[in-house]
Amino acid sequence: MGFLTYLINGLSLGSVYALIALGYTMVYGIAKMLNFAHGDVIMLGAYLVFMCMSSAGMPAVVSIVIAIACCTAIGIIIEKIAYKPLRRATNLAVLITAIGVSYFLQNMALMVFGSNPVSFTSVVSWPGLSLAGGQLKITGNAIVTIITCLIVMFGLMWFVKNTKPGQAMRAVSEDKDAATLMGINVNATISLTFAIGSGLAAIAGALLCSSYPSLNPYTGSMPGIKAFTAAVFGGIGSIPGALIGGLLLGIIEILAKAYISSQLADAIVFAVLIIVLLVKPTGILGKQIKEKV
């Protein structure tokens, strides 16, 4: 039963990673940039939910909706100010700017919220299920996290496949110039991608801190890096890849913590990533692109 519990915890953590990884993978797919600041948007989302719930006493759902709206706006603003002017610049320049944005968000949070961690109240009040005569306990957090992740994932896949803006997103990720010629508004599409990614970050932040309640200005940083790893793991640019990568990463991390060493868990996660990339250089679901001679 211990194993099952770990597995479910792993799925739950993996779902959070998957939600964050989505933000990375979509932005990478469309703008070909590593948005290093994405992890910090998660942290902001979590603080927003915390403020609405604990300070203003709003119900969880309302708080999350407000956080999503704010994070979406923040995502769009960041894109407009910091990334859009660099659209035709080298990748490295965009990467460093994203790092700058990441520093900015962290220090902004440090000024507003202080460096002391706050204790996050879970957005899920349901205690969860107790199965097999109390031997297998599944927390409400875990269930809600996993289900939310699946709904978001399939919703997004449907959106990208069947709606006009979704198709525009796919077209832009395939070939920006050709998409422009086809009359697609590339700038609007990229903004939309940032908006969706940042909105999801708010959800991810709320769910992450519901399971790991200590929240400080650097909370988003490590999960952000790991989720990015998950996106690469699954094949960056691919939405189902983010799901698979995120879930696998979460499960590996929790199982490594449980059975090998809690201190070495991160090292093991990264080692698995390296092995996967060496066997399949573009990730599990990634596409191979060869240079034409």
Catalog residues that contact other proteins under the rule CB under 8 A.
28, 34, 36, 82, 85-93, 95-97, 99-101, 103-104, 106-108, 110-111, 221-222, 225, 228-229, 232, 236, 261, 263-264, 266-267, 270-271, 273-274, 277-278, 281-283, 291, 293
Could you tell me the smallest distance in angstroms from the CB atom of residue 167 to other proteins?
A: 25
Taking the C-alpha atoms of residue 22 and residue 20, their distance in angstroms, rounded to an integer, is 5
Taking the C-alpha atoms of residue 6 and residue 260, their distance in angstroms, rounded to an integer, is 13
Please say which residue, 28 or 50, places its beta carbon nearer to other proteins: 28
Please say which residue, 137 or 266, places its beta carbon nearer to other proteins: 266
DSSP state of 132: G
Could you tell me the smallest distance in angstroms from the CB atom of residue 86 to other proteins?
A: 5
Could you tell me the smallest distance in angstroms from the CB atom of residue 184 to other proteins?
A: 21
Could you tell me the smallest distance in angstroms from the CB atom of residue 239 to other proteins?
A: 18
List, in order, residues 6 or more apart from 184 with CB less than 8 Å away: 168, 171, 172
Please say which residue, 36 or 50, places its beta carbon nearer to other proteins: 36
Please say which residue, 87 or 161, places its beta carbon nearer to other proteins: 87
Q: What is the CA radius of gyration of the chain?
A: 19
Q: Are 95 and 206 within 8 A, CB to CB?
A: no
Instruction: Enter the tokens of residue 225.
Output: 């890096």
Contacts 24+ apart (CB under 8 A), 143-147: 144/207, 144/210, 145/12, 145/15, 145/16, 145/207, 145/210, 145/211, 146/8, 146/11, 146/12, 146/15
Q: Can you list the positions of beta strands (E) in the chain?
A: 118-119, 128-131, 136-139, 214-215
Please say which residue, 167 or 221, places its beta carbon nearer to other proteins: 221
Could you tell me the smallest distance in angstroms from the CB atom of residue 49 to other proteins?
A: 23
Taking the C-alpha atoms of residue 192 and residue 80, their distance in angstroms, rounded to an integer, is 11
Could you tell me the smallest distance in angstroms from the CB atom of residue 113 to other proteins?
A: 12
Please say which residue, 7 or 266, places its beta carbon nearer to other proteins: 266
Could you tell me the smallest distance in angstroms from the CB atom of residue 261 to other proteins?
A: 7
- Supply the angle between the helices 38-50 and 60-78 in degrees, to the nearest 10: 150
Taking the C-alpha atoms of residue 242 and residue 250, their distance in angstroms, rounded to an integer, is 12
Q: Are 240 and 178 within 8 A, CB to CB?
A: no
Please say which residue, 230 or 247, places its beta carbon nearer to other proteins: 230
